[in-house]
Each structure stands twice: as structure tokens, then as C-alpha cells.
Chain A
Amino acid sequence: MVAAVEVRNISMAFGSNQVLSGVDLIIDKGQTTALLGANGAGKSTLIKVLSGVYSSFTGEIIIDGKSATIDSPITARASGIETVHQRIDEGVIPGLTVAENLLFERIVTGDVPNRVSLKTIVEKAVEIAAALDLNWNKSKLRSDVYELGIAEQQLLILARALSRSPKLLILDEPTSALSASESQNLFKVVKNLQDKGIAILYVSHKLSELDQIANNLVVIRDGKIRNEQKTPFSWDQALKEMLGQQIVGQRQEISSLASGKVALELKGVKLLPESEPINLSLRKNEVTGVIGLLGAGKTELAKIIYGAEKILEGEMLFENKKYQPSHPAEAVAKDIYLVPEDRAAESMIPAWSISETATLPFMGNFSARGIIKKAAEFIRGKQLVEDLKVITTSHLAQVDSLSGGNQQKVVVGRWLQSTPKIMILDEPFRGVDIGARRDISKRVRDLAATDVAVLVLASDVDEILDVADRIIVLVEGKIVMDEISSKTSKELIVNKMSEVA
């Protein structure tokens, strides 16, 4: 094996918080090395060190046998390290065409002449797209990048990174927004790159994915490398090292349906403009899991019930009464709550503390004649931190400063602390480590036991099987399966999901 990149004794601290301590890592050419770690383990920091985001680390990075200076994203790139970050929307430039996005860096650096026709750009873009086997025709390349689906945007960013022929490609949870078949496409691309001799550092929480694609596995916890394996991997060992003291339990057995009372009934509701209307009842004491690919109508379903999106057609009954929310405030008043899909964009207010974030939906309860009751708010914040085991210095810490899993605990917990009748969670486990996922999962199950109707929407089969009593598969806005979870299996669900509507 030839090392493409070698990391020697990398350490880094934020103030008194040692995030990386003496990390040694060898990433081989033509191999995919998986990096596994819970949120806050130091995974993101390591990636940011390699991609030049942080420059205040100690230690050495060796590329092709030579010590490299990486102190900015530009030097990282010049040294042959390309990173595809998790947030897709940060990688594309809206308002530009697909072709311009593909060539964006070259346009910026002036490799493309200042005066150039879109025609020339499209021709060059065709070459780049072809290198990745993207069957994008010229009219697609001429369209605005926003017209691409999220999976195609992901491929675009990848293609752009590859157009600079990197030595090391870092992929940070590249499949978090992709469907199963889209992920398979991506894996093919990754295998191809491997064969071309590119070293790949692959970060993901999805073990089945790593089994498929990785040659080497590195587990990081508390800023140290704990475990290194070559394929075939022992996941038991890897997870033990990753979670430390936490017990790696089996998925809990879920009893048969409690046939609770109907809390919410959807009659002839259209989820997508082109789709067939659906009927659906959410029951108390039940966790209903809805699974579907991107664009299957999951988020639409959640937002229609929550009053955040207009109902296209059909009606809803809440506790047997007509329910027509025109604003989320009306849903909240009826104790129907939603944890939206995108934490940062839809739940968090930048620079707000845990306490402030917790009370925002219920300001009326935390004020008297409009004046905020700080003491009550602090108590609520502290309770949230304790109840959900949020890892933080205090309830006054900024939510943005927490790790992803802990942020999620805050934005889920703020609703759990009130009195939900219907609790909707849209992709509650995205970008959340296994420990936090288990905590949230348990809380959601406990909640259903207290007469609450819970609706969980996700695109990961394991996640849904883990939490739901009843599983509904959505394909293009249509229900193709509705079954008690003990009567289903992963194979069956995947099968249904891939059905063509």
C-alpha cells in the first residue's frame, strides 16, 4: 500500500477543550478509509484540519512523502485534498447554470477567459460531466442549478471536486440526503475513483454503507483514534470503541399495535400536485413511521398537518373535528408539534441559548402580561439539559455551539417538555450519532406510551424499524404499504420503496 496522505500526531484544542489529541492516520491510495465516530468525537475537526479550515493545530500532514503546509482551503486544494461537505446547499451557487457551477472555480481563478460565451462553458462542462458518467445533456447544463434535485446537486459538487484531480477526496456524509438507489449510484462513482488511485476518506453513520464501500475503518472517540480495522469489519468492536461506556443494545422489540384511538384523520389529502389523494389515520399510543425517498411527499405530509404548508386537496379531522390549520400557530395551540427536517435552517435561531430556544414556541406560558419570566425559563432550560442528557456547559450555552446530536436533542426536547397530542418528527436522526439517536428514539417511544400520536418520517430503513410500531411506505405521494412493523422486514420495505408508482 502506498500512503496518499499521512497525518502525524495532530492535536487541536478550542480553549480548554482538547478536540484532537495526537491523531495518527494513514490514508492509502486507491482505498476508501471510513471514519466513524459519535458527534463531538473529533471527526469534523479532523476533516476541517485536512481541508484547511483550521490552521491552529499542531502536528504534521504528509502528502506523497513530503510535509505539506495546509493552513487554508486554498493550500489544502493546492496540495491535492478536496472535500465534499455535508451541506449541499453551501456548495452550489444559485442563479448560475449547472454548467457555470461545474466550472465555478475555474471561472473564479481565471482559467476560463473573462469574456466567454455560455456555449463554450457548456462544452467544457460536458467533458467534466462525462468523466463522472453523468448523463446530463446540454439543456440540463444550461438550466439553473436550483432545478436539479438534491442528489444531482451532490453529484455536481463531487464532479467539481474531481475536475481538479485530487489525491485525497474527503466525503462527509455524502448520502445523508440521497435515496437508496441514488446512494448506489454514488458508490459506483466512488469505486471508480478508487480504481483510478484516488484515496478516499469517507465519513458516515450508516454501517451498511461502510460495509459496501470501505476497505479500512478508523474509529475516533474523544479526539483519539481508538480502533483500526481492515475489511471485513467487526461492527461490534467498532461500535463499542465508538460509544465508549455506552452499552450497545439490540433494537428494542416493539409490541403489537395498541389499536389506540384515532387522533388525526386525513381524508383524500393530496401530498404532491401530481399525486393521488391519500387516506391516513394517526392513532394515539402509536409511533407511525413513514418512509420514502426524497420527493415521496414525507415533508409535505408533515408540513400539511402542522399548517406550515397549504393543503392542496382533501380535509383533516383532529379528534373528530374539522381541522384546517392556516398557520403553525394554530397547530401548536392544539398541541400538534413538528420537529422540522433541517435543524439549522428551520429550528435554530443563531446565537440563542438552549433556554431561549426551548421556550420560543411557548412564550405565552413563560411570560406574564407579556413580561418574560426568566426564572421559569431557566428552569425549563435546565430540565431540558438534564432530561435529554444534552452535553453542554450550561443551559445558557448557545445551541449553535453544541454538536449535531445535542442540537437535535434540544430542538426535539423543547416540544417533548410541553404536552404534545400529536408529535411529528421529520428526519429526527439525520446527522445524529448513534448514542443520541438511541436517546431520542427512546424518548419518542416513551412519549407514545403516554397517549400521544407520534409520526416519524425518515428515509433510512433501519431508523424507521428502530422506532416505529407501524410502517407506511410512501412512493411519489402514494401509500404503497401500511403494516405493523413486526410483520415487515427491511427487505420488504426496500422492495416496496423501489416500486414504481
Chain B
Amino acid sequence: MSTAKLSNLANYDLRQFTVKYGFIVVTVVLFLWFALTEPSFRMESTLFSMLKFTSVVAITGLGVTMTMVVGGLDLSVGSIAGLSVTLSAMTMVIYAQTGAVALIVVLLGGALVGLFNAFLIVVLKIPDLLATLATMFTIMGLKLVPVDGQSVSSGLILRDGSVAPGKFTPGFLLIDRAYIGPVPLPVAIFFGLAFFVWFFLTRTRWGRVMYAIGSNPEAARLAGVRVKRYRALAYIMSGVFASIGGLILSSRIGQGDISAGNSLLLDAVAVSLVGTSVLGMARPNAWGTILGAVLIGIVITGLTIKGFPYYAQDVVKGLVLLTALIFSFTLSRRKTKFVPAV
């Protein structure tokens, strides 16, 4: 074998390795670096607070992943999470209902917005990105109407001059504050949903069929797959996941902050895209999304502890996403590449 061939082989293997394990290596190295240089990073509480901080983005990202699997992309997730914050606050503060009612209202709200997205995409045949973009703006504006554009917190003066009768119930506030053993509840929810999505996508026939739709919708249809129903399902699930993220967010903030969820969209889409590159799969998948979320969590927690300014975070997130895209699109030799439908 000539030397040229040998070096080709080495290049190829290095490339293969980078594509497959690059992200995991980066995550572990960063983690070790922060852990070795910053004693406070090593504490168990820091680890869990990092995961807790990541949980909202990760859960919302899992929903986005579902829509990416069927070849779409849900841009309305951030606004759904924001809507969930306002909805839960309205239910408890203005209508003085229990936390359980708020929970149901929020989940239903998420499912309804998902259904609306599905209607735009499947029935009205608007391209995914554009339809969910329109939904995003509509929801962001619409949620402000019943609250007159104000954040909802206890003691709010209503339109008729009276004081809002309710408040965030202690039970609702526990969503973000409770622990199962040493594990914060949001982290447990995050892991539970991650397992669910992984299982659903890789072990059930519905997940299998969704991947078929994402790769070749016409071949799926001609194999007898009800493509429209599955795409609708993906958007409804995405809506529900975003509203679960919104619930945790609402419980964390403890008031109906109208700007909540605004930054969530980019993070959730970013972690899903980062996820497509993990293990060289070049397709959206649950573990990838989680690893993406955890990586970004580690980086941001680490940089914060190291005293980097808050605006450095966006730069870092951008670079992480860019690196992931290079892994997915440039370095991967897979012929089929994931490209969201526009």
C-alpha cells in the first residue's frame, strides 16, 4: 500500500471518529476542565442545578426533535412556553383556581396550539417553518390581550379596579422546587421524557414510521402510511412538550412574566440541531438532543462560574451550534442528510 493510501486511511478514520464521538469528547473535556479548575463546579448541587437549568430547554428541544423527525421544524415552541407561563398565572392569580387546574389548562393550551400548527401545515399546506413562524407571532401577541400586556402576579389590579383574588399555589411552585431523593423534580421530568422520546422514536412502530416520513414522505405514503396524521401528531406532541417546559418555567419564575420563553426558541432548536450530529447519526434523535442540552448547560454554567459576562453565552451557544452543523453536514459522509423542509 502506498503512503498516500495510508494517510488517506488515517484521515478517514480520524474523520469517522470525530464525526461519531467528537461531541461527546468535547462535552467530557469541558466538564473535566471546569471540574478541575473550579471547586464550586464539582459540587453535587452545582451539577443538579445545571441540569435543572437545562431541563426547560431540553424538554422543549425534545418536542422540536419530534417535528424534525417528520421532516419539519416547530418554531412556535418558545411562544408556546411563554403562553404556558401566562396561562398558568391567569388561571391561578386572576381566576383563583388550583395548581392542578392550571396544569391541565397549560397542557391543553400546548396541545391546541400544536393542533393549530398541524392544521396550517397538513390541511392548509403551508410550509412548516413559515406556518410555525406565523403561529409564533400570533401567540406572542394573543397572550398579551387578556392581561392587557402586563405580567401577572398576585396583587395585580384588574381592569375593573379590583385586586386579583388568587396567587401561585404552593403546590404549583413545587414543580420546580421539589426533589425526588437528591434529584430535582424538573430533572426527573426531563429524564423521564427523554426516555419516553427515545423509546418512542427507536422502539415503536410510530417512531419508525415518523423517520420514514422525514426521509421520503411519498415512499411512506405509498407504503400505506397516513403521513398527515403522523405529521399532525408530531406537532401536537411538540406543543405539549413546550407547554411542559413552560410549566416548569412558570413554577420557577412564580409569576406570569410576559417575556418568559422568548429566548427559548433558539435554544431549543439549537439543541435539537446539535443533537442531529451526535454519534454521526445525521438525523434528529432523543439522546443527541439531550446531550446537546447538557453540553450547552455545562458550558454556560462553567463560564458563569468562571465569571464570563452574560453576553458571552450567546456567542458560545452560536459556536456550539456552528460546530455541530459542521459535524452533521461537512464532515459526515452519510449520503442522506437531515434538512428541515422549508
Residues of A that sit less than 8 Å from B by CB: 306, 308, 327-329, 331-333, 338, 340, 345-352, 356, 360-361, 363-364, 366-367, 370-372, 400
A343 to chain B: closest residue by CB: B219
In the complex, 27 of the A-B residue pairs with CB atoms within 8 angstroms, ordered by the A residue number, are A308-B222, A327-B224, A329-B224, A329-B225, A345-B216, A346-B218, A346-B219, A347-B223, A349-B211, A349-B212, A349-B216, A349-B220, A350-B216, A351-B334, A351-B336, A352-B215, A356-B208, A360-B212, A360-B225, A361-B223, A363-B205, A363-B208, A364-B205, A366-B205, A370-B204, A370-B206, A372-B203
* Smallest beta-carbon distance A201→chain B, Å: 27
A345 near B218: Cβ-Cβ < 8 Å? yes
From A346, A350, A352, A361, give the contact of B224 (CB < 8 A).
A361
Chain B positions within 8 Å of A331 at CB level: 224
A365 to B165: give the CA distance in the assembly, Å: 56
B220 interface neighbour in A340, A360, A367, A372, Cβ under 8 Å = A360
Question: Is B219 in contact with A349, judged by CB distance below 8 angstroms?
Answer: yes
Complex Cα distance, B207 from A370, in Å, reads 9
Given A364-B205, A370-B205, A372-B208; A347-B224 close (CB under 8 Å): no
Contact of A351 among B215, B221, B222 (CB under 8 A): B215
Q: Which residue of B lies closest to A373 (CB)?
A: B205
Residues of chain A within 8 A (CB-CB) of B211 are: 349
The yes or no answer to B234 lying at the interface (CB within 8 A) is no
**Given A327-B226, A331-B224, A350-B336, A372 and B204 contact (CB-CB distance below 8 Å):** yes
| Bound-state Cα–Cα, A332 to B204, Å | 20
B90 at the interface (CB under 8 A from A): no
CA distance A371 to B223 in the complex (A): 19
Q: CA of A166 to CA of B156 in the docked complex: distance in angstroms? A: 80
Interface size class of B (residues with CB under 8 A): 20 to 34
Inter-chain contacts of A338 with B (CB < 8 A): 222
Does residue B242 face the partner (Cβ distance < 8 Å to A)? no
A346 touches which of B205, B209, B215, B222 (Cβ 8 Å): B222
Contact of A372 among B205, B221, B223 (CB under 8 A): B205
Question: Smallest CB-CB separation from B8: which chain A residue?
Answer: A56
Residue of A nearest to B213 (CB): A349
The closest CB in chain A to the CB of B217 belongs to A349
Specify which chain B residues have a CB less than 8 angstroms from the CB of A366 in the assembled complex. 205
Asked whether any CB of chain A lies closer than 8 Å to the CB of B125, the reply is no
**8 more A-B residue pairs beyond the given contacts A327-B226, A361-B223, A367-B205, with a C-beta to C-beta distance below 8 A:** A327-B221, A331-B224, A349-B220, A360-B220, A370-B205, A371-B205, A372-B208, A400-B335
In the assembled complex, the Cα of A356 lies from the Cα of B335 at a distance in Å of 18
Residue of B nearest to A306 (CB): B222
Residues on the B chain within 8 Å of A346, using CB: 218-219, 222
Query: Nearest Cβ in chain A — how far from B217, in angstroms?
Result: 10
CB distance from B219 to the nearest CB of A (A): 5
- Cα distance A349–B71 when bound, in Å? 13
Q: How far is the CA of A209 from the CA of B41 in the complex (A)?
A: 75
How far, in angstroms, from A332 to B223 measured CA to CA in the complex? 8
Q: Give min CB distance, A87 to chain B, whole Å.
A: 15
Residue in A closest to B200 when the chains form the complex, CB atoms: A370
B336, closest chain A residue (CB) = A350
Question: Bound complex: CA of A338 vs CA of B223, how far in Å?
Answer: 8
Check if A328 sits within 8 Å of B223, measured CB to CB. yes
Return B6 CB to nearest CB of chain A, in Å: 14
Please give, as numbers and ranges, the residues of chain B lying within 8 Å of A350 by CB-CB distance. 215-216, 335-336
